[in-house]
Amino acid sequence: MHCAMQRAPMARVWEVSARVLGLWMLWFGAMRALDFEIAALAQFLNASGLAGLASQAAWLSPALGALECAIGAALLLAPAGRWRRGAALAAMAFWGAGLLGLLSPAAWIHQPPYDGFPVIGSGQTLLKHLGIAGLALGVFAHERGCARGGARALWTLWAGQMLVLVWIGLMKFTQVEAEGVAGLMRSSPLFSWLYGPLDVQGASNLIGAVELATAASIALWPWRPRLARWGLWAAVATYLLTNSFLFTLPGWQPDYGAPFVGGTGQFLLKDLLLLLGALALLRAGATERRGGSAGAAPAP
């Protein structure tokens, strides 16, 4: 074999990840046949300068949805073995390919005084794809019984956490992001109180500072997993809190309601996949502290 065999401690993490990732892909894929997702794809393609493809969105979006549903169904329902392994590889490619959307001008804000990098717009949801692809890589490595692949998956999950928390945390210090998150937080009893003692920018700055502090702790994970666990638990809490916006906005698609989710709803729900990634890092860190090596990241 070309890789060392995995041992048991991380197995449950990857089993759960396969099921949850499969469910999410079925859920999101089914939405792509609906008019609001077709319109969103056409808008993105038009803004990317791909008007020819945008005119084909009526069949292209359902076709992508069918592919996503097929991958999700295999992850969710297939027994351990070749089918789930192939589905995990396909899921890794699917989510990884989404990162290419960052190359499109449609992913960025073009609004004076902001014009492109690093001030990102709808592309914020694409930043989460690295961590989600890491989950799929972990499932693939587990199905192969490959500890080396599991370690690579953990490094990818760690990078995915850092990418989202650092980039979006820094964005909170910009006016355009502060005004954007105000629409989310003012309707939430968990966050609306911030707008008493703080103004719009001040509340956003506070959230950004928390996200950056969380990222600073998680940054220690490859070297000091015991210290990083505080940041990982803070990330878990953050992802749970952001999903509360689904119920206070509401985050369900207008005129459809639950369980139909469009751009904002899917953006929030992807945090639950990042939550799984944070739990995987916590589990790997706990295994390393006990002297295990299954799926643990290699020392740099």
**Cα separation of 125 and 140, whole Å?**
23
**Cα separation of 139 and 94, whole Å?**
14
Helix axes 82-98, 57-77, angle to 10 degrees: 140
78: left (phi over 0), alpha (psi -120 to 50) or beta: beta
Token pair listed for 207? 């959230």
**Cα separation of 108 and 266, whole Å?**
18
Structural domain boundaries of the chain?
Answer: 8-289
Q: What is the pLDDT of residue 300?
A: 40
Specify whether the CB–CB gap between 123 and 111 falls below 8 A: no
H/E/C letters for each residue in 230-296? HHHHHHHHHHHHHHCHHHHCCCCCCCCCCCCCCHHHHHHHHHHHHHHHHHHHHHHHHHHHCCCCCCC
Q: What is the pLDDT of residue 80?
A: 87
Residue 8's Cβ-count burial label (10 Å; 0-12, 13-18, 19+) is exposed
Q: What is the pLDDT of residue 2?
A: 55
Q: What is the pLDDT of residue 295?
A: 45
| Half-sphere exposure in the Cβ direction for 161 (13 Å, CA) | 38
**Which residue carries 């859920």 as its tokens?**
27
Specify whether the CB–CB gap between 275 and 24 falls below 8 A: no
Q: What is the pLDDT of residue 3?
A: 64
Residue 104 CB contacts under 8 Å (≥ 6 apart), including other chains: 44, 47, 48, 123
| Half-sphere exposure in the Cβ direction for 213 (13 Å, CA) | 10
Specify whether the CB–CB gap between 71 and 94 falls below 8 A: yes
pLDDT per residue as tens, the chain (300 positions): 456 555 567 889 999 999 999 999 999 999 999 999 999 999 999 999 999 999 999 999 999 999 999 999 999 999 988 999 999 999 999 999 999 999 999 999 988 888 778 899 989 999 999 999 999 999 999 999 888 889 999 999 999 999 999 999 999 999 999 999 998 999 999 999 999 999 999 999 999 999 999 999 999 999 999 999 999 999 999 999 999 999 888 888 888 888 899 888 999 999 999 999 999 999 998 766 555 444 455 444
